[in-house]
Structure 1
Amino acid sequence: MRACIVIPNYNHVAVIEAVLTELSALSLPIIMVNDGSSGEASEVMRYCAAKFESLTLIEHQHNQGKGGAVQTGLLTADKLGFTHAIQVDADGQHDLNDIKTLIKLGKTHPNSLISGRPVYDESVPKVRLYSRYITHFWVWIETLSFSVKDSMCGFRCYPVAITAKLLREKRLGKRMDFDIEIMVRLYWRGVKSIFMPTKVIYPEGGSSHFRALEDNVLISWMHTRLFFGMLPRIPKLLWRKFSG
């Protein structure tokens, strides 16, 4: 197992130095994708790239969305020969102590997608919490399985070769729809998802790039595509479900 860390970053600089300091203790290479951030935020990221030897900074000229940034990071990890990539948000939401568990599970299940299953505190916005259950419902339909416990958590360990192959063969959503879509499409390709509980917080004063109207429309359209993509796969999905 040769693992790296992938961080999509659009203007999240308030705690990024602290996040990178904590991650550096793991002695893992870090790929951070600056997704067309402002000039001031970009300067902070370049400062971090100079400070942390383990950090490789890739810069998008224009904002593509979180999913676009993660895809760039994953494809870069594949080109650099990494077997696994751990996706981490730049805003301090994730419990970085759990990366060791992600790695352990990745070693045990090298061809599976390892994902966090959020355990929230009182900081979680209720609208975000309830909307997750709507997506869970549709993902269960799209996979004909209850095995996908959470499809929206951005704290994951990807098997790089399998994931990069999918990204090169299929155009996926580049914004908040990405985390959901890639999990469903990997499932369709026979990639098992394994979940571990992890604490997720919404830091006080933190900013979210979730666009209430635009991203909900994108996610709804994505679920429509996945539903109709599921229909011709029904025999294969049912065989997988009942054969063990």
Structure 2
Amino acid sequence: MPAVSRTHLVLIPSYNTGERLFSTVSAARAQWNPVWVVIDGSTDGTGERLQQMAADDPGLRVWVLPRNQGKGAAVLHGLRAAQEAGYTHVLTMDSDGQHPADLIPAFMQASQARPETMVLGRPVFDASAPLLRVRGRKVSNSWTQLETLFAGIGDSLYGFRVYPVEKLIAVMSRQPWMRRFDFDTEAVVRLAWRGVKPVNIDAPVKYLTAEEGGVSHFNYLRDNALLTWMHTRLMIEFVLRLPALLWRRLRRAPPFQR
């Protein structure tokens, strides 16, 4: 089993993922120690079963929230627990088997080498990716590039990434958003505004079929409306922040570029 890390942990939020949760957690545990899971009000019995697994595995911890609050809220619960335990970074990954557990060590090593950054997965799609989803994320990525003054964020929606705990908690504690599907995109935008630079690493993403145990809670109407509202808010705030962002960018530029 992997050696215990005292600074970096894997954090997996989960809501009604079914059997796929257990293979995801097992794959993550094979690559890293510790792995923490936040069960976000699931009603499928996975929380109780995973707690039984954790009883025999000191590298696995499980929190079961009483009601569904959203991915961002589940991540924030884990972030606060991680901070209290002295951890500085968390790698978030989805519980449905879409993210490559075998790349956890590489992402953690990149974060350990440059702890001041956020290490972001840049998705490499295969034939299983729905074309509508792929095209839709290109739109979101374009808005994100504008909102961050082209800070170099490779992908705004891929949730396989390593965050600095203290800075992300500070971002989330100051406003009521980022609690549901809007979490991943708004997190990287607001961290970029705080001067956290991205490190992008290519990573495959696989969309599993129902026969393969794939579970998706994405709702095209509801979640696209949420993303539209999010980008509207971010653009308004971006315009208000623009003078400060430009000044910060100018101060960081080498003299010959000014």
Alignment RMSD: 1.6
Query: How far 1:70 sits from its partner (Å)?
Result: 1.3
Query: How far 1:141 sits from its partner (Å)?
Result: 1.7
Of residues 15-24 and 180-189 in structure 1, the stretch that sits farther from structure 2 once superposed is: 15-24
Whether 1:16 aligns to 2:21 is yes
Which of these residues, 56, 59, 81, is aligned with residue 54 of structure 1? 59
Measure, in 2, the Cα distance between the counterparts of 1:118 and 1:46. 31
Q: What does 1:1-244 align with in structure 2 at a 5 Å threshold?
A: 2-145=7-150, 147-205=152-210, 206-242=214-250, 243-244=252-253
Measure, in 2, the Cα distance between the counterparts of 1:208 and 1:6. 19
- Is 1:175–1:215's contact at 8 Å kept on the other side of the alignment? no
| Amino acid aligned to 1:219 | L
Which SS does the other structure have where 1:25 is aligned? helix
Of residues 153-162 and 139-148 in structure 1, the stretch that sits farther from structure 2 once superposed is: 139-148
Query: How far 1:239 sits from its partner (Å)?
Result: 3.2
Which SS does the other structure have where 1:187 is aligned? helix
Of residues 233-242 and 123-132 in structure 1, the stretch that sits farther from structure 2 once superposed is: 233-242
Count of aligned pairs between the two proteins:
244
Measure, in 2, the Cα distance between the counterparts of 1:148 and 1:239. 20
Query: How far 1:52 sits from its partner (Å)?
Result: 2.7
- Is 2:92–2:160's contact at 8 Å kept on the other side of the alignment? yes
- Is 2:28–2:104's contact at 8 Å kept on the other side of the alignment? no
Which segments of 5 or more consecutive residues in structure 1 lack a partner in the other structure?
Answer: none
Measure, in 1, the Cα distance between the counterparts of 2:242 and 2:225. 26
Query: How far 1:86 sits from its partner (Å)?
Result: 0.7
Q: What whole-Å deviation, never above 9, does each CA across 1:35-86 have from its counterpart, x for those lacking one?
A: 0101523333233323432111111111111121112111211111101101
- Is 2:120–2:154's contact at 8 Å kept on the other side of the alignment? no
- Is 1:136–1:151's contact at 8 Å kept on the other side of the alignment? yes
Measure, in 1, the Cα distance between the counterparts of 2:77 and 2:132. 30
Measure, in 1, the Cα distance between the counterparts of 2:138 and 2:93. 22
Measure, in 2, the Cα distance between the counterparts of 1:71 and 1:15. 23
Measure, in 1, the Cα distance between the counterparts of 2:44 and 2:203. 33
| Amino acid aligned to 1:102 | F
Match of 2:256 in 1: none
| Amino acid aligned to 2:157 | M
- Is 1:172–1:182's contact at 8 Å kept on the other side of the alignment? no
Relative to the length of structure 2, the TM-score reads 0.89
Relative to the length of structure 1, the TM-score reads 0.94
Measure, in 2, the Cα distance between the counterparts of 1:146 and 1:20. 33
- Is 1:115–1:157's contact at 8 Å kept on the other side of the alignment? yes
Q: What whole-Å deviation, never above 9, does each CA across 1:144-194 have from its counterpart, x for those lacking one?
A: 215111010110111112112222233332111110001100111111111
- Is 1:145–1:241's contact at 8 Å kept on the other side of the alignment? no
Of residues 18-27 and 229-238 in structure 1, the stretch that sits farther from structure 2 once superposed is: 18-27
| Amino acid aligned to 1:143 | T
